[in-house]
Amino acid sequence: MNKFHGTGVAMVTPFHADGQVDYDALQKLIDHLIDGGVEYLVSLGTTGESATLSKEEKKQVFAFTARAVNKRVLLVAGIAGNNTLETVAEIKAFDTTGYDSILSASPHYNKPTQEGIYQHYKAIAEATPLPIILYNVPSRTGSSVSAQTTVRLATDFKNIIGIKEASGNFELLNQLFRDKPEDFLVISGDDPISLQMVAMGGVGVISVVGNALPRQFSDMIRKCLAGDFKGAHASHYSMIEFTRLMFAEGSPAGVKSALKALGVCDDPLRLPLVNVSADAEEKIKEQLELVK
């Protein structure tokens, strides 16, 4: 399978009850995902609660993850921010050992114009030799990377190799798939519509649900990539309610609850995120028994 085709998982960051990073549980999670057959892992994306980790904690998590993965699968580092100069400095200081790419969300909160988004990613592309995967997630950032801007970036910078698309905007996706360079990767960042995006020409997913169901989700995506959509339908439909519950009371609270039920890691989060309700936790357990 080509690089970054298939299922990547945006890993949670396990914490102890006191809020410190639980490295034993992180090792267990990494092994759980690799044993589950996923193609690659993403460290410290949004699902990893990266916004609440200090620079030193991020450095330690990145280094530990690279050692734990030990090149068994491809590994992506989530490095993003809404201060371009600071983001560039962080990328330049990043120890790339063991990492194959950088995933970088478009700037949040500032609501830049399309030209501002282009210049932000231009600065990032010029700061690292690593391949870069853009990330469009307007529900979190407050702005969207247009299809035109994505195509412009893909054309102008050889190390901008793909985009994690989580806009859910099919008008944008239609334009992007029509106009993008042939080898530019479009990766679903939206678990519920990953099957549909592969049908349009996507190469896979960077998944939240895959933390809990690596085998089931990656098997479904592989069937899609092989053109066996009829075979993928059963898996897709069986996971719909579980997937809904993963996001019903916020992410990664939902998937941490599922991982706790699976015995992979406990479910503490860092404020301002909180655990799912007792009712949601019970529903997650019930659905987990049906799909695992």
Residues tagged active-site:
135, 164
Q: Is the peptide bond before 252 cis (omega within 30 degrees of 0)?
A: yes
- Listed in sequence order, the residues at least 6 apart from 163 whose beta carbon sits closer than 8 Å to its beta carbon are 133, 134, 135, 136, 145, 150, 154, 176, 184, 185, 186, 187
Peptide bond into 272 cis (omega under 30): yes
| Contact between 252 and 245 (Cβ < 8 Å) | no
Residues 6+ apart with CB under 8 A from 288: 212, 242, 258, 261, 262
Q: How far apart are the first and last CA of the chain?
A: 25
Residue 125 region by backbone torsions, left for phi larger than 0, else alpha for psi between -120 and 50, else beta:
alpha
197/21 Cα distance (integer angstroms): 34
d(CA 26, CA 21) in angstroms, rounded, equals 8
Question: Strand 204-207 and strand 132-136: pairing?
Answer: unpaired
Q: What gap in Å lies between CA 285 and CA 227, rounded to an integer?
A: 32
Mapping DSSP onto H, E and C, the string for 147-199 reads HHHHHHHHHHCCCEEEEEECCCCHHHHHHHHHHCCCCCEEEECCHHHHHHHHH
Amino acid of residue 78: G
